[in-house]
Structure 1
Amino acid sequence: QPLLSHGPSLHSHTHIHLSLSLSLSLSLSHTHSHTHTMLLALKPFACLSLFCLSLIVFLLTPHDKRSNIPSQQYTIHSHYHPYNLQQEQIIIQQRTSSNAPTSCKGSRIYIHKLPPEFNTDLLQKCGYGITSWLNFCAHIAHHGLGEPLHTHEELSLSQDKVSTKSANDTNFMKFLDKQSPTRIRKMLLGDISPPSLRRHRSEWHRTDSYMLEVIFHSRLLHYPCLTDDPNMADAFFLPYYAGLDALKYLYGEHKSNPKVAQHGSNLVSWLQQDAIAKEAWRKHRGQDHFLVMGRTPWDFGNLGSAQWGTGILQIPEYANMTLLLVEKQLWMPNQYAIPYPTSFHPNSPSSLHAWINRVQNERRSTLFAFAGSIRPALMRGGIRDMLIDQCLSSKDCKLLDCKELKCSHNPEPIMRTFLLSQFCLQPRGDTPTRRSLFDAIIAGCIPVIFHNDTAYTQYEWLLPKEASKWSVYIDEEEIRKGTLVEETLLKYTEESVSQIREVLIGMIPKVVYNAGYSSSNEGEADAFDVSVRETLKLISHKKRKLTSFRKL
């Protein structure tokens, strides 16, 4: 009776049924106790009655009283797909916006949530999807750093024999060729796991210098001062892979008539249509927006009579933004040059300083070196052929023919050559700047520069103002007049060379893109940190200037 006394009134008929059943059973037991057969016959009836009663009570009990287990609650984290770059962006912004450090004042960045056609869709087309002859899947692996060299043995810089091709490179490409586009996308983006990028066993990668957009975006997703509130943002980042998108205009379906679908116009349309983006742009006319473009301005150049270039830089809206490129047009005040990605991406402060220690203690047996190749069609008026002739004529010069070795995706021959050399020649390439300049810096090989636009007028955020403290300058005209590089370099004393190299080595942390550790907590600022810091300063200045103008 106590068990059922708290039950609802609609169960009252079951109480009566139970009482009658029990009374009848007891009465029969006392009255006919001498009849053992009758008692045995009634016991099953009583048990059946109790079972029926229990079943009725259970069925009539409200559902919410049957169990105290709460129903499963699903959030965005429950549906998080580790391979979706945009989804990760949302999660990280939600996390950081509420936990941003107080030091974020003036440094909060909002990453616009662009449709995938502007970034991840381009990555998914890496296997001949943008142009019929280009497969760059290996280069976008590991957040744009490229295929890692997994052990130090693979980068056998101390050995006499230089390996020009790794078996891993061939095997990796064969593996990619067998994968579906979806599988490739998962593989390439899947090892980004908040709150920090996965660290690789090796700090050396087969990095393609044109992957700057992917590298920068991946790093920015882990920037400590992200915000998901555009009203709180001090700057806005557009994760548009303009350099990858340019491929179809330079080499693909739009090459013959780029005006049909002008490069970059889709982004402008999106900025005008998306509600958040439209309002964010309106406040400062896009002056607080910035974009990373992973190619030189030559590829983004004039449209119309020009024989090359996509014309994106001619769109007025892009002139309002701060553009970060590996090379800038000196006459464009909104363009800023940041370092080419090299193959060295330290995964911790200790790995960075271990490399610096090696560079400092390396025995350099060669006076000067040149890594490159002759490309007559693109080198009109250049001095490469003259420098190559001088190097071949000298017993104290090492020439690395990158046409044969394909140096750009194999750091071993370049690093070994530069580590063993006192000076590294840096003539202009297809354009004034070269990735090789930064290869030389991280190897402690003093750059010999022949044109101001190769470095001095480009990387103002990174390079010491006094060029002679970290490099040697010989004007191109002097080479054309017959000046011998070797004679010029032999004039430098051992002491002066040591002083220059000391400054050069001190520049290493700022010109590399590390593999994702937070330099603000663990070590010196790298190229990414410096670029973000200086961009925020620029944007702050632009906003103050615009505000002052409006008050007039």
Structure 2
Amino acid sequence: MPNPVLLLLLPVLLHAVAAVSSEDSAEDPCAGRRIHIRALPPRFNTHLLRHCDAAFPLADPSASAPPSCASLANHGLGPRTHPRSRSWYRTDARLLEPFFHRRILERRCLAADPALADAVFVPYYASLDALPYLLDPALLDSSASHGASLAEFLAHDRPQILSRRHGHDHFLVLAGSAWDHSQPPELEKGQQPRMWGSTSLIRRPEFENFTVLALESRTWPWQEHAIPHPTSFHPSSLRRLQAWLDRARRSRRPVLMLFAGGVSRPSRPNIRGSILAECANRTDACVVVDCSAGKCAHDPVRYTRPMLRSRFCLEPPGDTPTRRSTFDAILAGCVPVFFEDAAARRQYGWHLPPARYDEFSVYIQKETVVLGGVRIAETLAAVPEAEVRRMRERALEMAPRVMYRRHGSTAELRRAGMDAVDLAVEGTLRRIRGRTRALEDGQPERIYALEDDSIEP
């Protein structure tokens, strides 16, 4: 097997070539969009990939998971689901950071000189660096030190890069929930003990001005923004993308609703328990795909085929409000059904504009189901078929916005529209420009405005 540290060698060469851009054009297409990729010691990124055989199995208990180091294939997309597959991969979400790094290296508007950059990307594989704190109970009390070494490096290696805009032009990717990395760095007297499986990375004062792109953001912090959970679909050409969307449009959908997730019954009433109880009584209308113990994490066929046969996909919150299943459903043309706003509407404004949710999804307040006797199947069956088709078409129109296309994709696919990475980077640049203007205008209070979150580029 190839050394995983060499996986990013080719992109680094591409970066060096792309950074040499022409400044002679009268019309500069890169104005306001130049990104400098911060040069970090390998211990903050590529060297972390060396531990795949030791660290990944501790977090991959599923027997269906590929061999741990195999997940590094294709720059973090994982191995193909089938030798003949060209768009489907067994993607491990924790490897979004090296994949995102790979995609940033492909961008046209890169600046070798940080003084000429509008934004600074920090290619820190934060979730991989956090694994020891998350998996070893003996390190619980030291989890507040996650990111301390990076903070020290940024402060002392060419400190002018960080100090120029006080970090407001810096951004990084976090392949996980912001909640898992937002514990207070220091516990006050009388506070609960540190929560196992969490760190204090984004609560560190050294990073407080960074923009953090996470798979799930908290509700209030102005510096965070959620980006879609990566699915297993990563087309490399427009033809392959269109072929999949056409298949989703043509699929016969005899099943009213589907739930894909863990099937253990909760100890107290909640929306997931209500869904499982209703599905057990309405086998004529509901299909349950058992994804307990990671059964679905690396096996997209297990849930994608049933989604193609279903009109609605139920998306209840789990341990946290958001779910990867939401994006799998959109790609399959299965209309997502949400039970709380925090599940998506308040998260992914750059990718799924909040004003358009009613066009491609259904909302049923969870309290009306758990406590009010509302039947989900009856509610969904009452939606006119023409309306269901319209919502399905709108969901498929949104699909290219939430997928992560393959690195090295064709120019035709890139021109066809922005994918999840493009929208995340453009949203970040827009936010950084707003902060920079606020600093230059002497109006720092404007830094905390989030009015850009629902803007469609």
Do Structure 1 and Structure 2 share a fold, with TM-score over 0.5? yes
1:538 aligns with 2:438: no
Partner of 2:68: 136
1:212–1:272 distance in 2 versus 1, CA, 3 Å: same
- Report 1:211-360 matches (<5 A): 211-252=95-136, 255-258=139-142, 262-275=145-158, 278-303=159-184, 304=187, 305=192, 306-308=194-196, 309-360=198-249
Structure 1 CA distance for aligned equivalents of residues 421 and 277 of structure 2: 38
1:428 aligns with 2:317: yes
Q: CA deviation at 1:215?
A: 1.5
SS in 2 for 1:367: strand
Structure 1, unaligned runs of 5 or more: 1-80, 153-200
The question of whether the paired residues in 2 share the 8 Å contact of 1:130 and 1:248 is answered with no
Structure 2 CA distance for aligned equivalents of residues 428 and 496 of structure 1: 25
1:254–1:283 distance in 2 versus 1, CA, 3 Å: farther
The question of whether the paired residues in 1 share the 8 Å contact of 2:36 and 2:111 is answered with yes
Structure 2 CA distance for aligned equivalents of residues 361 and 91 of structure 1: 42
Structure 2 CA distance for aligned equivalents of residues 375 and 294 of structure 1: 26
The aligned amino acid for 2:344 is A
Number of residue pairs aligned between Structure 1 and Structure 2: 420
The question of whether the paired residues in 1 share the 8 Å contact of 2:56 and 2:68 is answered with no
SS in 1 for 2:139: coil
Question: Percent same amino acid among aligned pairs?
Answer: 39
SS in 1 for 2:235: coil
SS in 1 for 2:288: strand
Structure 2, unaligned runs of 5 or more: 61-66, 446-457
SS in 1 for 2:390: helix
1:131–1:255 distance in 2 versus 1, CA, 3 Å: farther
TM-score, length of structure 1 as denominator length: 0.72
The question of whether the paired residues in 2 share the 8 Å contact of 1:248 and 1:254 is answered with no
The aligned amino acid for 1:513 is Y
Partner of 1:202: 86
Q: 2:297 aligns with which of 403, 408, 413?
A: 408
The question of whether the paired residues in 2 share the 8 Å contact of 1:235 and 1:539 is answered with yes
1:252–1:240 distance in 2 versus 1, CA, 3 Å: same
Structure 2 CA distance for aligned equivalents of residues 246 and 470 of structure 1: 36
The question of whether the paired residues in 2 share the 8 Å contact of 1:287 and 1:539 is answered with yes
Larger mean CA deviation between 112-121 and 99-108 belongs to 99-108
Structure 1 CA distance for aligned equivalents of residues 73 and 13 of structure 2: 22
Q: CA deviation at 1:340?
A: 0.4
SS in 1 for 2:52: coil
Partner of 1:51: none
1:386 aligns with 2:274: yes
Structure 2 CA distance for aligned equivalents of residues 267 and 405 of structure 1: 32
Q: 1:445 aligns with which of 320, 326, 334?
A: 334
SS in 1 for 2:49: helix
1:482 aligns with 2:370: no
Rg comparison, structure with higher value: 1
The question of whether the paired residues in 2 share the 8 Å contact of 1:519 and 1:525 is answered with no
The aligned amino acid for 1:328 is S
1:362 aligns with 2:271: no
Partner of 1:96: 18
The question of whether the paired residues in 2 share the 8 Å contact of 1:326 and 1:337 is answered with yes
Q: CA deviation at 1:381?
A: 6.1
Q: Deviations over 1:371-400 (max 9, x none)?
A: 0114568x8763211101111211111111
Q: CA deviation at 1:88?
A: 4.7
The question of whether the paired residues in 2 share the 8 Å contact of 1:349 and 1:522 is answered with no
Q: After TM superposition, what 4+ stretches of structure 1 lie above 6 angstroms from structure 2? A: none
Partner of 1:372: 261
- Report 1:488-527 matches (<5 A): 488-516=379-407, 517=409, 518=411, 521-527=414-420
Q: Deviations over 1:268-323 (max 9, x none)?
A: 10011102xx1111110000000000010221121443423211122012220000
Q: CA deviation at 1:416?
A: 0.4
Alignment RMSD: 2.4
Partner of 2:449: none
Q: Deviations over 1:234-275 (max 9, x none)?
A: 11000001111111111127533225x600111110011102
The question of whether the paired residues in 2 share the 8 Å contact of 1:407 and 1:413 is answered with yes
Q: CA deviation at 1:358?
A: 0.6
Q: CA deviation at 1:210?
A: 2.2
SS in 2 for 1:143: helix
The aligned amino acid for 2:259 is F
Q: 2:34 aligns with which of 97, 102, 108?
A: 108
Structure 1 CA distance for aligned equivalents of residues 54 and 246 of structure 2: 42
The question of whether the paired residues in 2 share the 8 Å contact of 1:148 and 1:205 is answered with yes
The aligned amino acid for 1:293 is L
